[in-house]
Amino acid sequence: MARLSVNINKIATLRNSRGGNNPDVLQAALACERFGAQGITVHPRPDERHIRYKDVFDLKAHIRTELNIEGNSREEKFVRLVLDTLPAQVTLVPDDPGQLTSNHGWDTIKHRDYLRDICALFKGEGIRVSIFVDPDPKMVAAAADTGADRVELYTEGYARAYHGNREQAIAPYVEAANEALEAGLGLNAGHDLDLHNLRYFNEHIPGLLEVSIGHALISDALYLGLEETVKRYLAQLTGGG
Ligand SMILES: CC(=O)[C@@H](O)[C@H](O)COP(=O)(O)O
Ligand SMILES: NCC(=O)COP(=O)(O)O
């Protein structure tokens, strides 16, 4: 069964808008865990516009489920943060510093040597490494050659196309997932997954281990409350609800 890792970036966005500690990022993470989430994801960005580096230390010290830190390992500060906090998983995302949000996966062919080195560094510290990739079998196959444990499929394309033609939207992801399974890579997915498109994705992607969901989930919680929201997302993954 695919596990739900709640991305709490948007809790930090709200907190930072007023300069105090409301809402409290750590308390929100602990609440997600109480409501059944199996992991917490953060994606600290160099300008700390949402998750701050200090948040990551607090989270690592107190949460009981897996911490997944996403970000650009070309930033020295990010590498230091990961090595200092030792999360269960690091997800390598090739973002530029000023990017609004993630919008592409790694070119694992072009950057194979770099990715090999950085995977070895993190894996040497016992951290599971996942590489964020577009749903392209060639990128998945080359990711297997870097020593990574998993790939995370970038799902914005699926989410955008879902309402028009979901069979067509899911097709490249099924192909990429099969390639990952063949190559012996674990499979994660994320970006713009929501209560409409998650169940279908989960039901059609072979071997899906984890989804990380933030923007839609935290937005839904404004209407439904965090407990009900986490439960509804979990139900999409278990066939319930
Ligand atoms: C890698 C990925 O798809 C997510 O981490 C997403 O980029 C969230 O980051 P923001 O919350 O900064 O948009
Ligand atoms: N890795 C994807 C993630 O953590 C959350 O992305 P989104 O749900 O905020 O688009």
Distance CA 217, CA 220 (A): 5
Is ligand 1 within 6 A of the CB of residue 190?
yes
Query: Does residue 135 sit in helix, strand or coil?
Result: coil
Is ligand 1 within 6 A of the CB of residue 103?
no
Is position 41 annotated in a ligand binding site?
Answer: no
The list of the chain residues with pLDDT below 70 reads: none
pLDDT of 99: 87
Q: How many domains does the chain have?
A: 1
For residue 152, list its beta bridge partners. Answer: 132, 188
Domain that holds residue 80: 3-238
The predicted-structure confidence for 165-212, as pLDDT tens digits, reads as follows 999 999 999 999 999 999 999 999 999 999 999 999 999 999 999 999
pLDDT of 61: 98
Distance (Å) from CA 165 to ligand 2 centroid: 22
pLDDT of 96: 82
ipTM of the complex: 0.97
Q: Residue 35's domain is classified under what CATH number?
A: 3.20.20.70
